[in-house]
Structure 1
Amino acid sequence: MDGLQQKQIGIAADRRAKEISTLIQKQSGIPVVYSIQGKQQLNEEISSQDIKHLLEEEFDWAVLTTGIGARTLENTATAIGIDKHFIKKLRQLHLAIRGSKTSAWLKEHSLEPTILSEDGTMDRLLQDLRDEFDKNGPKRIFLQAYNQDDAKLKNELETIGYSVYLSKPYSFEPPTPSIVNGLREAIIEKSLDAVVFTSKTQVINLFADNDRNSEITAACNEKVLAVAVGKVTAQELKNNGIKRVVEPDNQKMGAMIVALNNYYNTVS
Structure 2
Amino acid sequence: MAGHSKWANIQHRKGRVDAARGKLWSKLSKAIIIAAQGGGGDPSSNFRLRKAIDDAKAVSMPKDNIARAIKRGTGELGGDRVEEVVYEGYGPGGVAVMCEALTDNRNRTAPELRSIFSKLGGELGKTGCVSYLFDRKGLFVFDAESIDEEQLTEVALENGAEDIEATDDGKLQVTCPPENYDGLDDALTAAELAAEMKQVSQVPQTTVDVDSDTGKKVLRLLEQLDDHDDIQTVSTNLNITDELLGD
Q: TM > 0.5 between the two?
A: no
| Greater fraction helix | 1
| Greater fraction strand | 2
TM bucket (normalised to shorter chain) is under 0.3
Q: Normalising to structure 2: TM-score of the pair?
A: 0.26
Q: Normalising to structure 1: TM-score of the pair?
A: 0.25
Structure number with bigger Rg: 1
Higher relative contact order (CA 8 A, sep 6+): 2
